[in-house]
Structure 1
Amino acid sequence: MSNKIRLGILGGGGDSLIGVLHRVASSMYDKFQLVGGVFNVKLEESLNFAREIGIPTDQVYKDLDTLIEEELKLPKDKRIEVVSILTPNFLHFPMAKKLLENGFNVICEKPMTTTYEEAKILHETLKMANTVFAVTYTYTGYPMVRQMRHMIANGDIGKIQKIDAQYYQGWINPIIHDKEKRKSTWRLDPEKSGISCCIGDIGTHAFDMVEYMSGLRVNSILADLNYLYEDNQMDIDGTVLIRFEENVKGVIRASQIATGEENNFTVQIYGDKAGLKWEQENPNYLYLLEDGRPMRVLKPGHTYNSNLSLDGTKLPPGHPEGIFDSMGNIYKGVAKAIRNEDYDHGEYPTIIDGLRGMNFIEKAVESHKQGNVWVNIDTA
């Protein structure tokens, strides 16, 4: 009998890109086996999708309540052990809370909830459930991101002096300039997305990444957001000044109206000895910058990399790895946690990352609405 972790998925059916990403990622390392879930709001479409991807339909359900009810009737060695939530934002909190209350492990897409208050409730629920909870800040799974984290913690760049994160996309341009279209997309609907579009969607990736890489916590922020049109309730562009502990300062620049940009996510961290730069569109290159020396390029798979970086590298040097591999490394870390194996705390983002991400989103909107003032980020 297979000892793989039995995985259920909520959402992600049809031609959903995020669904493909999670299914492929979960299949890496042979740690998980997708056995069922609720792929669509219509049961027949969920069943048809299960048949299309070649899994049995006996653990495919019409809704989450039915999934929980029926799964808890099964013996533990047949029951779904972990559920990935890939639905629109407004469903993350009620689904995750119900799953935790019934003893399931959870992997949740970001943002974790639509409000900070919901995130705090989830955090308390997890404490009582004592299960595993991961938030898929996907880019933390890249080997050279993990190498950058290691080098900074190791003191290779010295004391951090400046942090700069940029996340530019242009995808919302065809929507935002059309009044009817911007009223019809769920991304710009506060009831479904929460209070922020750009900062909530990609700005939170940058926030999590700068804390993950630097090992520092953001203490306070000042945000200037752009809504572009008076009838648009959701930001689609913004600049956030950030202050860390130890007098370190930086900036997060995020935009979904950066015309022509695809997924331009870049993080640069400068110390008093050297600087490091990583670019998501070229994820296998980590640039090491030093005064008076040529720029060096570090690549995955080489023995000069850290154990954490090498553990997330599946291919020999010179063979590119990408977004599927990055998500796969997060799933691998979650598998270790579920099986109570030793793992590095940098292997997957936890509920604390999700909690701080939601606090960042709300504080950014608060800072902007109060007239671009400094506001504090809560400790967690």
Structure 2
Amino acid sequence: MGLIGGGPGAFIGPVHRIAATLDNEIELVAGAFSRAPEKSRQAGKAYGVAADRSYPSWMALIEQERVRPDGIDFLTIATPNDTHLPIARAALAAGIAVMSDKPPTATLAQSLELAKAVRDAERPYALSYAYSGYPLMRHARALIAAGGIGTVRKVVVEYLQGWLAAPIERAGNKQAEWRTDAGKSGVGGAIGDIGVHAFHLAEFVTGLPVGAINADLAAVVPGRALDDDCSVLLRFAGGARGVLLASQIAIGEANGLTLRVYGDKASIAWRQEMPNQLLLHHLSGRTEILTAGGAGLLPAATAVTRLPAGHPEGYLEAFANLYRDFGRRLRGKPAPDLPGIEEGIRSMRFIEQAVAASRDACGWVPLEPAREYA
């Protein structure tokens, strides 16, 4: 494994490294951890990477790893959105598989360009929509697919944070700086940073594509160029209605991702901050509390459960499940729950159409399928 990003002060890069190596099937052996060569070298030393494989740039990494007899099998991209396309395209052209942080690129046009590169390279490409790796989300997906809650009628998904309630990007916060910079983040702010997680999870669990959206996005903090608060109405294939809320100015919220799906026989409810419980409400009034590692889980959930009931599993383990799936894909085995370029195109289309629909106040707009990739 090679890693781009994850240098001093980074959040998601170390998460990728820990998750990838959790099962002792993947080893981090190379990286370009920072744009500053000395910081990259320091990070490599901290990660235990050999000095000659701590590269000064991602270009140098790909150029040298592609010709090494022991070169990397895949590359993880954990950098701001504007760098995703050039890195992924170069890696794929070099015959190196890619695991990328979401979203796939900064724009929809770039995602379509990347899709062509994935097709041409015929190498695995995956996106780290980590919340789809939770055992109880895999259970909910399989349960709904089997008709366990009946016909889906209503979907409510929320992803609420409060860390951007003040303009901390102007006070030197690096994580806030690039997320509020259209040149690095793309056209979406909160909608692109966390809204796509909510969008992907809603489609992943229900198995239903969103066919149309009605979006209201705002930059609430004065002077901020990108949205930090989003409300989106959803219409799913089959007639279900939905609501998606994504906000980073909701004071008091930490990482408030929640999902509720209502059918005509039952409903499910899940909170990411309490990820080891899934509520299953029946029409009769009876409620089941399903627990990770407990009785009654479907094979899709038990296959990604690591610990006995009562031993909490969380974000890192869910992330690691994606890497386990990715390892299967690298070995030529099926990994049907692993998000790829198709989901990437869906997410970018969602971001851009939500931004445009809100800006133009044009009401309901269709969310086209990713036909360009088919």
TM-score, normalising length: structure 2? 0.95
Q: 2:260 aligns with which of 256, 265, 268?
A: 268
Give the Cα–Cα distance (whole angstroms) in 2 for the partners of residues 72 and 85 of structure 1.
16
Q: 1:180 to 1:335 in 2, by over 3 A?
A: closer
Q: 1:180 to 1:310 in 2, by over 3 A?
A: closer
Identify unmatched segments of 5+ residues in structure 2: none
Question: Residue 82 of structure 2 aligns with which residue?
Answer: 90
Question: Residue 319 of structure 2 aligns with which residue?
Answer: 327
Mapping 1:1-380, distance limit 5 Å: 7-75=1-69, 78-175=70-167, 185-228=177-220, 231-343=223-335, 345-346=336-337, 348-380=338-370
**Residue 250 (structure 1) shift:** 0.5
Give the Cα–Cα distance (whole angstroms) in 2 for the partners of residues 266 and 108 of structure 1.
24
Asked whether the 8 Å contact 1:224–1:372 carries over to 2, the reply is: no
Give the Cα–Cα distance (whole angstroms) in 2 for the partners of residues 297 and 140 of structure 1.
20
Asked whether the 8 Å contact 1:9–1:38 carries over to 2, the reply is: yes
Moved more, 363-372 or 211-220: 363-372
Matched to 1:266, the amino acid is: T
Give the Cα–Cα distance (whole angstroms) in 2 for the partners of residues 357 and 239 of structure 1.
16
Q: 1:274 to 1:363 in 2, by over 3 A?
A: same
Give the Cα–Cα distance (whole angstroms) in 2 for the partners of residues 83 and 153 of structure 1.
33
SS of corresponding position for 2:34: coil
Deviations 1:270-316, CA, capped at 9 Å, x for gaps:
00000001100000000001133332110112342122211111101
Deviations 1:212-234, CA, capped at 9 Å, x for gaps:
00000011101011112563220
SS of corresponding position for 2:239: coil
Asked whether the 8 Å contact 1:89–1:192 carries over to 2, the reply is: yes
| Identity in percent | 37
Matched to 2:41, the amino acid is: L
**Residue 341 (structure 1) shift:** 2.2
Matched to 1:367, the amino acid is: A
Give the Cα–Cα distance (whole angstroms) in 2 for the partners of residues 52 and 134 of structure 1.
26
Give the Cα–Cα distance (whole angstroms) in 2 for the partners of residues 179 and 139 of structure 1.
30
Deviations 1:44-73, CA, capped at 9 Å, x for gaps:
221222222222222221112211221122
**Residue 266 (structure 1) shift:** 0.4
SS of corresponding position for 1:234: coil
Give the Cα–Cα distance (whole angstroms) in 1 for the partners of residues 170 and 118 of structure 2.
41
Deviations 1:49-107, CA, capped at 9 Å, x for gaps:
222222222222111221122112212xx011100000111111111111111111001
Q: 1:128 to 1:276 in 2, by over 3 A?
A: same
Identify unmatched segments of 5+ residues in structure 1: 1-6
Give the Cα–Cα distance (whole angstroms) in 1 for the partners of residues 82 and 10 of structure 2.
17
Matched to 1:371, the amino acid is: A
Asked whether the 8 Å contact 1:182–1:232 carries over to 2, the reply is: no
Q: 1:372 to 1:229 in 2, by over 3 A?
A: farther
Deviations 1:165-197, CA, capped at 9 Å, x for gaps:
011100001326x87779982211111111111
Question: Residue 4 of structure 1 aligns with which residue?
Answer: none
TM-score, normalising length: structure 1? 0.94
Q: 1:336 to 1:311 in 2, by over 3 A?
A: same
Moved more, 64-73 or 232-241: 64-73
Give the Cα–Cα distance (whole angstroms) in 2 for the partners of residues 180 and 20 of structure 1.
24
Q: What is the root-mean-square deviation of aligned Cα atoms in Å?
A: 1.7
Give the Cα–Cα distance (whole angstroms) in 2 for the partners of residues 147 and 229 of structure 1.
38
Aligned residue pairs total: 369
Matched to 1:51, the amino acid is: K
**Residue 378 (structure 1) shift:** 1.8
Deviations 1:135-192, CA, capped at 9 Å, x for gaps:
101100000011110100010100000000011100001326x877799822111111
Asked whether the 8 Å contact 1:182–1:188 carries over to 2, the reply is: no
Q: 1:342 to 1:204 in 2, by over 3 A?
A: closer
Give the Cα–Cα distance (whole angstroms) in 1 for the partners of residues 351 and 62 of structure 2.
31
Moved more, 327-336 or 22-31: 22-31
Give the Cα–Cα distance (whole angstroms) in 2 for the partners of residues 247 and 106 of structure 1.
36
SS of corresponding position for 2:126: strand
Asked whether the 8 Å contact 1:175–1:181 carries over to 2, the reply is: no
Asked whether the 8 Å contact 1:196–1:365 carries over to 2, the reply is: yes
Asked whether the 8 Å contact 2:170–2:177 carries over to 1, the reply is: no
